[in-house]
Amino acid sequence: MAADTVGLHIRPMSLTDLDEVMRIESAIYPFPWTRGNFNDSLRAGYDCWRFEDDRGLMIGYAILMWSPDEVHLLNLSLDIQAQGRRLGEHCLRWLADEIHRRGAPALLLEVRPSNHRALRLYERVGMQRIGVRRGYYPYFHGQREDALVMRCALPLVEPTVAAPAAIARTAGCGHAE
C-alpha cells in the first residue's frame, strides 16, 4: 500500500531501502540505530514506512510496533535537509491517521528531553507526557539520558495555528513538521 500526500510520497520500507535509511540515521543521530535494528524490525513485521519527495528521494522513515492497546512509534526520522519544514508533522499525522484507520486506539513513543524540536512537534499534535524511563538512551562519555514517555488517544488533535497550505489541505487525514 502506497500513499501520496501533498509533495510527499509514502510507501512501505523494504530491505533494499536500508542503505538510504542508514545514510540518514547516521547523519542525524550521534547514537544511531544499527542496520540490524532496522533489519530486525522489517523481519518482525513491524510497520516500516519510507517517505519520499517528488523526485523519489528518501527524506525520512518510520518504524511502528503494534500491541493490543496502542501502537508504539519506535523511530520517526527525517533527513537533515528535510527538517524544519513541518514535514515531520506531516509524516506523523499521516502515520497516526493510518494506524487509527486500522483500529489503533492510541500512539505511544519515547523521546529524549534534549530533542526540543521533537518535543514541540509531539506536544503540538496533542501527545501528553505520561512517564520517564530513567537512563533509557545512550549519551556521551558513557552516560545515559532519560526518555520522556508520551502517549495520545487517536485521532490526533487538529492544528490550532495557521499551517502552511499544503499541511492545511491534508490536516484531516493527519501529517507534518
pTM: 0.85
pLDDT by residue (tens digit) across 50-85?
A: 999 999 999 999 999 999 999 999 999 999 999 988
Pairing of strands 144-153, 128-138: antiparallel
* Number of Cβ atoms within 10 Å of the Cβ of 166: 18
Q: From CA 124, how far away is CA 133, in angstroms rounded?
A: 22
Question: Is it the case that residue 4 has pLDDT exceeding 80?
Answer: no
Q: Active-site residue among 110, 136, 137, 139? A: 110
Q: Active-site residue among 25, 46, 52, 122? A: 122
pLDDT by residue (tens digit) across 36-49?
A: 999 999 999 999 99
Q: Based on the residue annotation, tell me whether 139 is a catalytic residue of this protein.
A: no
Q: Based on the residue annotation, tell me whether 52 is a catalytic residue of this protein.
A: no
Dihedrals phi, psi of 17, to nearest 5 degrees = -85, -10
For each of the domains in the chain, give its residue range(s) and CATH number, in order of start. Answer: 3-176 (3.40.630.30)
